[in-house]
Structure 1
Amino acid sequence: MFKLSQETSKPHKKTLTKVAYQKILDMIIDDEIASGEILSENVLADLLGMSRTPIREALRMLQKDDLIEVVQGSGTFVKRVTEKELSDLFSVRISLECLAVEKAIHYIDYQQIDKMIAQWEAMKRNINITDIDWKQVVSLDNELHRMIIYKSHNNILKHIYNLLNSKILRYQRLAAKSLGNLEVTIFQHIELLMLLKGKDSKLICASLEKHLIQSMEYIMKNM
């Protein structure tokens, strides 16, 4: 009986931790918890309606993701965005995605690309009709870059990208909020998708590098 009770309690605990992790991560990504803000276990537990245990474990996971930091004697804080970290992350992203492109072009799914193009085209048509859905912008951006990595069929690349994914999502959100002109980013994504259909890895890599550097510059201007 003891073993059965222990086995049934663990999945519940893991589920609560996963829920807490995702909710806190979303708040950090969406800047609802600002850069440099303190994270109180008690406040988060009340906000999410759960005990401090899953909150504490979720915060440990976020610390491993390098999104939060524990300052001895002061508390737990959302890590501040720095130009050094931005530069480092985007340099790694350019290298990873350009490396992935060399293999990904051989496994391109044209239907998936056409669907993505249609989604960006629809957003372009609705720019002046509805409020911009920034979460959709981030979601479409993330989907495209993840597709490039996953179509490489390189498990090591996928593993590295997944380790960085939380950071990447945070900066994709910051880039979306910092955009000077949404039409420009829509054009860049459609251009990149069209180049993927053409399977010229050099042109694709050049487009990727230009797009990622511009995203980084948008964030830096608004820091």
Structure 2
Amino acid sequence: MRRRLIVLLALVAAVVAGVASASAITAQVDPDTAVSPPNIQPDGTGARVPVTATDPDGRPAFAIRVYRSKSGLICPEAGRTAGGRFGQLDPAGEVEATEVAATGVCQDLSKEPAGYVVNHYPARGKLPARAVVFGVTTDAVTGVTLTTAGVQRPVRFAGNTYISVVREDALAGASLDVTLADGTTKSYALQPSVAPLIAPAPEETTTG
């Protein structure tokens, strides 16, 4: 039951953000209160965009926006950024700004040092299916790495948030590794989406 509710929260956030699907959330809230308004509604103090990742296809960079919910949870969401705007790509490939709303995947970091989310984007035209791995951490985390095909590489990490953009098929057998201040490491297994990535998300629309 807990797992189903956790995945449900990811899917709700994904639909609002125009993402094909999302999965694999940890450090979540109690399943009995996970979808209550105080746990997902912004507390009105604004949001921050502490980290970005270059789009390998040359379009506006991916970014993480983080707000705090009314119940005190930390809520990251993935989007695009350009010219000081945060949002999703419009049909012309420009960033359409979105207001801070209940679209983050809110996480309780009192139970885990880090939470993670994987947004899955379908292939479109010559662009392969891709995944955006992102999340938030406590101050106990000093670094984040992603291991794909046996190769470990650092993930962009700043302001207790991190983000990485990879091909969807690279998630097979992949792991997200979080290094703590005491030198220990926590690993989270990743995997490609089990749902067919059929319908292109509006965010992935290209022109020309």
Q: Using structure 2 for the length normalisation, give the TM-score.
A: 0.24
Higher fraction of strand: 2
Larger radius of gyration: 1
Higher fraction of helix: 1
